[in-house]
Amino acid sequence: MNPTEQELARNRLLEEIELDTRDTSHMTGREKLSDRVMAAMAKVPRHEFVLPEDLPLAYINRPRGIGHGQTISQPFVVALMTDLLDLTPEDRVLEIGTGSGYQAAVLAELAARIYSVEVIVELADTARERLRRLGYDHVEVRHVDGHGGWPEEAPFDAIIVTAAPPRLPEELVAQLAEGGRMVAPVGHRIMGQELRLYTKGPEGAIRSRGVLPVAFVPMVEKAAPRT
Ligand code: SAH
């Protein structure tokens, strides 16, 4: 794709995100995503995050494979999840499931620091190198099981989980700041998953609501301890 084709493809993608947002607003409660989120979606070069053979399809509103049985999420879902976090430029954000690093880059356009963890070492290394090359210096990527979060940097103003756990891990709830927002796909692949939004109020009270049915890769369970 030449630069003009790329710009056209990106503009078309933004229009599709607007349409999907309107079509799902009865479930999500959001008629329109914020201008800041749409500007971030317009800015991040998604073609840098897909596999080379998928370059012509980088701006199609679909998830894509990124190797190791994992996927880069559908752009509309990335935009919606980001919007639900209501980020401010001072926020510190934890992401579970770095994958390609695309979601982390979108977050990095909107918040002060991003801490992202990935359980597959090759994906963590590739995403770290890619984000550095693209100038996202305020994103840190760690190769670790996301069930434990990132305790040294907690609490976080926002947490985004991009692989689906059957139940929300307690440790992540603990690492959310008071007034913080967390968005996560929760459930089983076959039984169905639901994107849920959690908010932590005074004294740690958690409120949550279902947002949208979704299909994410499962969050892998911690390896059983050796006996
Ligand atoms: N946010 C990514 C897409 C994530 S796909 C992007 O923008 O490209 C889900 C990712 O979660 C996969 O890379 C998968 O390896 C990772 N993952 C699954 N279980 C995990 C766990 N327990 N801890 C950390 N990462 C996990």
Residues in contact with ligand 1 (CB, 6 Å cut-off)? 70-73, 96-97, 99-100, 102-103, 117-120, 123, 145-147, 162-163, 217, 219-220
pTM: 0.96
Convert the pLDDT of each residue in 75-123 to its tens digit. 999 999 999 999 999 999 999 999 999 999 999 999 999 999 999 999 9
User: Which among 25, 34, 73, 208 is annotated as catalytic?
Assistant: 73
Cis peptide before 185 (omega within 30 of 0): no
Pocket test for ligand 1, best of 95, 102, 103, 120 (most atoms within 8 A of CB): 120
Which phi and psi angles does 63 have, rounded to 5°?
-70, 160
Q: Which domains does the chain possess?
A: 3-214 (3.40.50.150)
Q: How far is CA 219 from CA 86, 93, 105, 125, 170, in A?
A: 24, 19, 21, 19, 14
Q: How far is CA 20 from CA 24, 45, 72, 224, in A?
A: 6, 21, 18, 40
Convert the pLDDT of each residue in 29-73 to its tens digit. 999 999 999 999 999 999 999 999 999 999 999 999 999 999 999
25 catalytically annotated: no
Which residues does 27 contact at the CB level (< 8 Å), separation at least 6?
Answer: 210, 211, 212
Nearest CA to ligand 1 atom 16: 97
* Distance from the alpha carbon of residue 69 to the mean position of ligand 1, in angstroms: 10
